[in-house]
Amino acid sequence: MTSSTPTRPTLIPISLTVNGLPVDAAVPGRMLLADFLRDELGLTGTHVGCGHGTCGSCTILVDGEAVRSCLQFAVQVDGCALTTVEGISPDGRLTPVQQAFQDNHGMQCGFCTPGFVCSLTGLLAKDPAPSEETLVDTLNGHLCRCTGYQNILKAARQAAGRPVEGDQ
Ligand code: FES
Ligand code: FES
């Protein structure tokens, strides 16, 4: 019987910006972006719920676009600018989206919250006054096991400058 030595994966160099800071790393080609952020960079605010693109809890911003980091490989963001929930507030104060979640009790356990915050932040950067339909569409891409969604929708409306109770 022959024993085989496991081969180490080839490491691929990547250079990117994460929360405004330059990052140079060497990663296996199959390392997921979510694992890179959490395990290599220690940015554990990016949560992994389902691991296959359904729950939205791993959402971050890549060049301003909301992206599910469990569906990307780290090598795919070579050269990109990433923002995770840790970097969503440039000055350390609550952003309007974060403040809206606090004001409206838009979280309970908080597991889903970084994903909601990143998605809404990305949306409002491109569309500061989204319609109710656009807001609901954005929230639709996220699962929350705790809140029943009503307070999250209120928070999203507040952040978007819409009536918190909805158009009456
Ligand atoms: S962990 Fe990425 S979408 Fe659920
Ligand atoms: S607040 Fe618990 S999963 Fe959303």
pLDDT tens series, the chain, 168 aa: 456 777 888 999 999 999 999 999 999 999 999 999 999 999 999 999 999 999 999 999 999 999 999 999 999 999 999 999 999 998 989 999 999 999 999 999 999 999 999 999 999 999 999 999 999 999 998 999 999 999 999 999 999 999 999 876
Distance 148 CA to ligand 2 centre (A): 9
In a domain, 102, yes or no: yes
If you average pLDDT over every residue of the chain, what do you get? 95
In the block, residue with structure tokens 């569309």? 127
In a domain, 7, yes or no: no
How many percent of the chain have pLDDT more than 90?
A: 90
- The total of structural domains in the chain comes to 2
Instruction: Say what the pLDDT of residue 90 is.
Output: 84
Same domain, 81 and 30: yes
Last residue of a domain, one of 86, 120, 140: 86
Distance 11 CA to ligand 2 centre (A): 36
Same domain, 18 and 72: yes
Last residue of a domain, one of 86, 115, 145: 86
User: 100 vs 29, 31, 104, CA distance in Å?
Assistant: 38, 34, 6
Distance 46 CA to ligand 1 centre (A): 10
Instruction: Say what the pLDDT of residue 168 is.
Output: 64
Compute and round to an integer the Cα radius of gyration of the chain: 18
Last residue of a domain, one of 25, 52, 86: 86
Per the structure, the complete domain to which residue 129 belongs is given by 96-159
Q: Is the shortest distance between the CB of 71 and ligand 2 below 6 Å?
A: no
Q: Is the shortest distance between the CB of 23 and ligand 1 below 6 Å?
A: no
Q: Starting from the CA of residue 70, give the closest ligand.
A: 1
> Residue 139 is part of a domain; what is its CATH number?
1.10.150.120
Q: Is the shortest distance between the CB of 139 and ligand 2 below 6 Å?
A: no
Instruction: Say what the pLDDT of residue 9 is.
Output: 84
